[in-house]
Amino acid sequence: MKSVPLKVKQWEDRFIPFLQKCETIQDLKKTHVPIIKVSLSESNFLVTKMVGICDTNKGIVYAKKLFKRVTEPNIYLYNALIRAYIHNHFYKLAIDVYKQLLKDPQGKNHVFPNRFTFPFVIKACTELMNQELSFQVHGQVCKFGPISSLATSNLLLDLYSKFDDLKSVYKVFDEMTERDVFSWNCLISGHARLGQMKKARLVFEEMPEKTIVTWTTMITGYTRIECYSDALHVFQQMQVVGGVKPDVTSIIAVLPACAKLGALEIGKWIHTYSDKNGFLEHKCVCNSLIEMFAKCGEINQARELFTQMSAKDVISWTTMIVGLANHGRARKAVELFQEMQMSEVKPNVITFVGVLSACAHAGFLEEGLKYFDSMTETYCINPGIEHYSCLVDLLGRCGCLDRALQVINEMPMKPDATIWGSLLSSCRTYGNLEIAVIAMEHLSELEPDDTGNYVLLSNLYADLGKWDGVSRMRKLIRSKRMKRTPGCSSIEVNNVVQEFLSGDYSKPFSEAVYQILELIASHQSKTDDDIEEMLGDKYLS
């Protein structure tokens, strides 16, 4: 580094207090004038300070002008400008400055990247999701010698993790001489993002220290691959074994698992915990709780929480509308949608799925058609296949089968099995064999092994007294050797969710379960004492 003459250093020191008082770009410009007058506009020291002020006050254009005035910028000034671009989300410009740094005549100025340069450059690569550039930067980290820091290595781990390049992640991890919790979390998040939860669990068990981020990553990973019981187990272990209290992020991560499993008691505990800790101020927590209550059958509790929200976003309205529709409260769902239209919140594609579904289940034909048309006419939303599915369901339930078939034929996308299945079901209701056969032709291609479709058509033949058709369907089912997917249900007892498959006798208490089911099925009136005597202490303990 060049030595600074004493007189210049004295002048630079004089301007520091004035620069420290600059709170706006206008203040900086006023201070810049005397700096120019004393010929210090090329001072790396002062310009670096001024670029830092521009960084804080979003004065990126002025920072660029300051930088261009310096003919021989040093590494500190380069770093300051790169950092300013990163903080203000100009990632491409940050990379351009870095490239300029590398092209600088290094023999003259001896400008080389240092350990403060690479974290910001890697951050830019991550945001740009440019894998080729990332490999080049990683190569330069190695090229410029042992300047890598823990921060640089962690950012490389995070970078490769987001590219799903676990081979490179492990390469960086194995070469690290120092690791922290973030380093381990990158391995877990990389596996979790790819759905490799068994490998994520191995890393998790090996970690010397775990934070709330670690536990939450595991919960999110299990939820993503629909291992909801595992997600709940990790959430409980986090508190019991890890001694870690849930935060907003972990609560949002685990609530979908509660909703899917119907784990209402755990969901209620989370609601109470969130209320005590002020988490209900977060819309995302309230939205997740509303969805959980609705899916667990507590639609009144969901509505109460929705009403209490001081500020509602499109997710809040949509979740409540969908919840009401799924609980058969179509009129309430439509009324809530009308309230939403009067508010300043614009409905989205999922909102319309909810309201159209409500109209379909309640048979609100005219309202449903009006809302479907308003998607494009009022809100400029192009209907998707899920909206057409609701429309076909609506028309079918109202007996407009010819019109439903016309909608299917005129759809801008290929109809799926759900749409044809909905039409087939409506044909059974209204005894329309002609359209049912058309629907079945398509279903036999889309879902050739789905027994339910063949049974549905067979029942229609039976309703119409066409026994040849019934016989033909049964022969077809036998020839294809189709098997129906066994039903599955779950129940929560003492905060533990138990899953049951139809015909599954593997659980230790299966015998008791089926005996009680037989009692219910046979309508035998047994007292509690009768049941206890029949089952014995083995099953009731």
Q: For residue 447, what are the contacts with CB-CB under 8 A and spacing of at least 6? A: 417, 421, 453
The per-residue pLDDT for 539 is 46
Say whether pLDDT at 540 is over 50.
no
Single-letter code of the amino acid located at 317: W
Give the pLDDT band of residue 497 (cuts 50, 70, 90). Answer: low
pTM of the model: 0.76
Are 232 and 305 contained in the same domain? yes
Are 323 and 413 contained in the same domain? no
Give the pLDDT band of residue 26 (cuts 50, 70, 90). Answer: very high
Distance CA 262, CA 264 (A): 6
The per-residue pLDDT for 1 is 45
Work out the mean pLDDT of the chain and round it to a whole number: 87
Q: 195 by DSSP, 3-state: which?
A: coil
Distance CA 139, CA 133 (A): 10
Residues 510-536, mean pLDDT to the nearest whole number: 60
- For residue 438, give both structure tokens: 């058309």
Q: For 74-116, write each residue's pLDDT tens digit.
A: 999 999 999 999 999 999 999 999 999 988 765 455 678 888 8
How many domains, in total, are found in the chain?
Answer: 4
Are 393 and 482 contained in the same domain? yes
The per-residue pLDDT for 279 is 96
Are 287 and 322 contained in the same domain? no
Are 513 and 443 contained in the same domain? no
The per-residue pLDDT for 15 is 87
Are 400 and 443 contained in the same domain? yes
In a domain, 110, yes or no: no
Give the pLDDT band of residue 508 (cuts 50, 70, 90). Answer: low
Residue-by-residue DSSP string for 508-537: TTHHHHHHHHHHHHHT----HHHHHHHH-H
Crossing angle for the helix pair 349-362 and 330-342, nearest 10 degrees? Answer: 140
Q: For 56-68, write each residue's pLDDT tens digit.
A: 999 999 999 999 9
Residues 133-150, mean pLDDT to the nearest whole number: 80
* Residues 187 and 155: beta-carbon distance below 8 Å: no
Say whether pLDDT at 4 is over 70.
no
Q: CA torsion angle for 192, 196, 197, 199 (degrees, to 10)?
A: -110
Q: For 241-280, write each residue's pLDDT tens digit.
A: 989 999 999 999 999 999 999 999 999 999 999 999 999 9
In a domain, 495, yes or no: yes
Q: How does 90-116 read in b/e, with b if 16+ C-beta sit within 10 Å? A: bbebbbebbeebeebeeeeeebbbeeb
- Better-predicted residue by pLDDT, 350 or 539: 350
Are 302 and 319 contained in the same domain? no
Q: 344 by DSSP, 3-state: which?
A: coil
Are 495 and 475 contained in the same domain? no
Weakest-pLDDT range from 149-163, 260-274, 468-482, 503-517: 503-517
Say whether pLDDT at 527 is over 90.
no
Q: For residue 510, what are the contacts with CB-CB under 8 A and spacing of at least 6? A: 504
Q: 244 by DSSP, 3-state: which?
A: coil
Say whether pLDDT at 153 is over 80.
yes
Residues 508-524, mean pLDDT to the nearest whole number: 68
Are 279 and 366 contained in the same domain? no
Q: For 175-201, write each residue's pLDDT tens digit.
A: 888 899 999 999 999 999 999 999 999
- For residue 8, give both structure tokens: 């210049």
Q: How does 18-30 read in b/e, with b if 16+ C-beta sit within 10 Å? A: ebeebeebeebee
Residue-by-residue DSSP string for 302-354: HHHHHHH-SS--HHHHHHHHHHHHHTT-HHHHHHHHHHHHHSSPPP-HHHHHH
Q: For 357-397, write each residue's pLDDT tens digit.
A: 999 989 999 999 999 999 999 999 999 999 999 999 999 99
Distance CA 81, CA 168 (A): 29
Expressed as residue numbers, the domain containing 456 is 384-487
Weakest-pLDDT range from 115-129, 243-257, 425-439, 516-530: 516-530
How many separate helices (H) and strands (E) can be counted in the chain? 32, 2
Are 506 and 420 contained in the same domain? no
Among 274, 291, 311, which residue terminates a domain? 311
